Amino acid sequence: MSEKQTGTVSDRSTSGSIPPEVGNNSNVDIALTYVRNVGAGGGHVGQKELVRKIDWRIVPIMFACYTMQFLDKVLINYAAVMGMPKDLKLKGNDLTWAATSFFVAYLVAEIPTGYLLQKMPAGKYLGANVVLWGIVTVCTAATNSFTGFVVARVFLGIFEAAIAPCLTIITGMWYTTSEQPPRFAFWYCGLGIGQIVGGLVSYGFQQIKGESLEGWRVMFIVLGLVTILIGSVTYLFLPDTPMTASFLTKEEKVVAINRIADNQTGIENRTFKWSQIKELAMDVQIYLIGLVILLASISSGVITTYSSTLIRNFGYTPPIAALLNMPSGVVSLAVTILSGVAVGKASNRWLWIAGLAIPGAIGGGLMSFLPKSNRAGLLVGIYLVNSIVSVLIIVYNWLSANIAGHTKRTVAMSLVSGSFSIGNIIGPQTFQARDAPNFYPAKIAVLATQASAALAAIVLRLYYGWQNSKREKRSEIPHSLPEDYKWLNLTDKENPNFRYVY
């Protein structure tokens, strides 16, 4: 399917009719009101120059936020081989439960996040949460018990829950559907960079031999302070919408708004519509998208939390285990960039999700069935499993392109992030102390979920094709749409011109 959601005004809405209240101001996107007040203008503004200007202002900030989000979340992975379990007197499955507590909090926090993002500016909300989780990261260094550590992880999960919905909303309001995949991929590269930097940081802080403060505590303090700085920059310099962007002229703002009209997903509408929540609850696509994310996240949850522990169990020292974790970041970067560019050119999201499951499944197989003596093969297995991490960003982009209606889309993003949390809750729980040192059940779980995620993506593609075919074949008496229907906060079900991309 083409990236552009095509169709004719003569098509009837999937739901059977256009809502009678579309003329109500509460249904009009704020962007349309801005353009009407300012005037059309902007004819002399170059599209390429404008996109480049937006890129340099928006994308680096999103990239920095996602890098620190990943780093702060997985510091537990590196601290686990830096003496933290001994210092906190952790035993049995304590580390697993600490990892799980983060995602339980993340999951619960997604419920108010969906509502708050409908009411609050995304840029300010993101910046505030980045600062808050940076403070929590610093405070984690002061914990001296399992209980204190879990409390810190819970608050970290609460504040980090904002990251994916915020970045998805922000990307969607600045870029056309075809431009979004590479931009999603770029800020998501923060994950791969985080893996590489994390290995170096862990190795460096393991060289600290001070008597007053252990290396892992210093690591939490330093990275927490960096996060607070980035959060402050985000709060001050990341515009909430094109309409409030101080780095653009009035003419550029109008062009920035008009160029994304064909997305048919709008920019901002702060009226919370329960009718869109009801529609979302009955929408098959949200369940299929959630299933893809859940299955993929089980594997990523295993790797991001326990890769250093697995590598150390191969017989390497903690510092070397940290360094050997870095190629995982290279794999993550490669597949993220490659899939982002490819999807932007060919709109083949389902194929990439299914395809990335192949090296992931091979990696899971190597981890599961190779003998412990084959350290090279086991390392390759861990690295290959990281190919699945880019599935998350492909799905976020898929959701951004295929779910319209501001309330519906905002809540859908929170629900999908919740599916990510559930997968990451299940993943670490497959690591049980009784299964050490080989952890075969966890490794087999990685193998099985890869194949299942691929199958779910194929089913989702078939569903979208079926929905588009139904819309093309409708022959009932058409309903006319207002001239500015693209800005009337219609959902993908209400808008007869909307076509799903896959």
Q: How confident is the model at residue 19 (pLDDT cuts 50, 70, 90)?
A: very low
User: Hey, what amino acid is at 222?
Assistant: V
Is pLDDT of 10 > 60? no
Q: How far apart are CA 126 and CA 149, in angstroms?
A: 24
Higher pLDDT, 344 or 10: 344
Statement: 47-247+271-474 belongs to CATH 3.40.30.10: no
- Over residues 32-47, mean pLDDT: 72
Residues ≥6 apart with Cβ < 8 Å to 334: 192
Q: What digits encode the pLDDT tens for the residues 379-393?
A: 998 888 888 888 888
Q: Tell me the CA distances in angstroms from 192 to 66, 252, 310, 387, one per residue in order.
A: 10, 33, 19, 11
Instruction: Look up residue 430 and give its DSSP letter.
Output: T
Lowest mean pLDDT, pick from 140-144, 365-369, 474-478 = 474-478
Full-model pTM: 0.83
- Over residues 34-59, mean pLDDT: 81
Q: Smallest Cα–Cα separation from 314: which of 227, 416, 382?
A: 382
Is pLDDT of 431 > 70? no
Q: What digits encode the pLDDT tens for the residues 101-120?
A: 998 999 899 888 888 888 88
Q: How confident is the model at residue 15 (pLDDT cuts 50, 70, 90)?
A: very low
> Considering the chain, what percentage of its residues have pLDDT values greater than 90?
25
What does the pLDDT read at residue 12?
A: 33
Q: How confident is the model at residue 223 (pLDDT cuts 50, 70, 90)?
A: very high
What does the pLDDT read at residue 480?
A: 64
Please return the burial class of 39, using the count of CB atoms within 10 Å of its CB with bins 0-12, 13-18 and 19+.
exposed
Q: What digits encode the pLDDT tens for the residues 279-289?
A: 999 999 999 99
154-166 burial by CB neighbour count: b if 16+ within 10 A, else e?
bbbbbbbbbbbbb
Q: How confident is the model at residue 481 (pLDDT cuts 50, 70, 90)?
A: low
Q: Name the most confidently modeled range: 22-31, 227-236, 470-479.
A: 227-236
Q: How far apart are CA 346 and CA 2, in angstroms?
A: 8
- Over residues 452-464, mean pLDDT: 90
Q: What digits encode the pLDDT tens for the residues 194-204?
A: 888 888 888 88
Q: Smallest Cα–Cα separation from 502: which of 397, 404, 428?
A: 397
Is pLDDT of 395 > 50? yes
Higher pLDDT, 300 or 313: 313
What does the pLDDT read at residue 43?
A: 62
What does the pLDDT read at residue 251?
A: 87
Structure tokens at 8: 């004719």
Coil vs helix vs strand at 373: coil
Decide if 62 contacts 164 (C-beta within 8 A).
no
- Over residues 236-245, mean pLDDT: 91
Q: How far apart are CA 43 and CA 92, in angstroms?
A: 66
* CA atoms within 13 Å, Cβ hemisphere of 122: 28
Structure tokens at 318: 């903690």
What does the pLDDT read at residue 210?
A: 63
